[in-house]
Amino acid sequence: MAVRRLNPEQPTTFEFTPENLSWAEAKIKDYPDGKQASAVIPLLWRAQEQHDNWLPEPALRVVAEMLDMPLIRVYEVATFYTMFQLAPVGKKAHIQVCGTTPCMLRGSGDLIAACKKRIAATPHTLSGDGNFSWEEVECLGSCANAPMVQVSKDTYEDLTPDLFDKLLDGLDAGQPPKPGSQTGRTASCPSGGLTTLKNGPVRWNEASNDMVPANVVDQEAAVATSGNADKNPAGKAAKTSSATDGTSGSLEKPANLLDAPRGGTGDDLKRISGVGPKLERTLNALGIFHYDQIAKWAADEIAWVDDNLTFKGRIARDDWMSQAKTLAAGRETDFAKRVDAGDVDSSKDE
């Protein structure tokens, strides 16, 4: 990390706006007598936000006076934390690229190369239009989603050069993507789908007096609220119709059933753990051919399909929903890879 110094060109004064001043005075009162210095970071951050997202030297003096701190202590804080910018930054965004080992191993070098190409050849330098600037920083705490960048308070993770380009385009257009993983995974879940806890979270089920997968509880709740609770205790929904007549009483026939697979070819549903050749034929007979159909089912639709299978509860037990969502998004699950490699006997056609 480069040495952090104050910008050589500084304004002569800094004053909090009346609104920010009253906010700062209230913030100082959050701390006990004699501990007001603890407000240094929030006050510096507010000053930075007020001053085009960088901290001028007079702001450090104002904060030191307000907190009755030696000026050097405020300098130490401002120059230590990379959340504080000590020189003008891009009007639209200042990109902080994590260059620490996990991000470096996962491609942060490509992101830095893109910054040099699209923004400026050197860090802490404004782009030609003044809209962007960048710097390399140390670990920002999202290592499991490396490589990543931070823009103000937001982090953008799981980046590739293409995704980073899209992020810069979005920031330039004033429509940045949603912060977090840019590949769509939840937090730092495995990128190829779950490898453990495949049945998802569990909850206490009063009816069966046991811990069961949460989506089973949800199915039961959907059935119960639809007035069929007496017929469907403890997730054992009574079959109320045939697979084909669509009159499953309070269970909801999925709206996305098809007469035939789109384009004449369905997805290989046997790539979903829990679906073998026989069950795939049953699903096809119900009008289910594609991963995205399964991925979109609501709880009452799951209950309807479950009601039409001979072995109840397997949708929840094998967590078809998560698997189908992953496969429908074009990503792979470990199970699907094993099927493709011919390692799963139960998925082979009889």
- Residues lying near ligand FES in the complex (CB under 6 A): 98, 100, 102-103, 139-143, 146, 148
- If the CB atoms of residues 100 and 241 are measured against ligand FES, the closer one turns out to be 100
DSSP 8-class letter at 177: P
Q: Kindly tell me which of 138 and 206 has the beta carbon lying closer to ligand FES.
A: 138
Q: Of 159 and 243, which CB lies nearer to ligand FES in the complex structure?
A: 159
Q: Toward ligand FES, which CB reaches closer, 136 or 319?
A: 136
Cβ of residue 268: shortest distance to ligand FES, in angstroms? 37
DSSP string spanning 95-135?
EEEE-SHHHHHTTHHHHHHHHHHHT-SSTT---TTSSEEEE
**CB burial readout 288-301, b (16+ within 10 A) else e:** bbbbebbbbbebbb
Cα 40 from Cα 24, distance rounded (Å): 10
Which is nearer to ligand FES, 20 or 183 (by Cβ)?
Answer: 183
Residue 100 C-beta: closest distance to ligand FES, Å = 4
* Angle (deg, nearest 10), helices 71-80 and 40-50: 70
- Look at strands 202-205 and 180-181 and give their pairing: unpaired
Contact 219, 228 (CB under 8 A): no
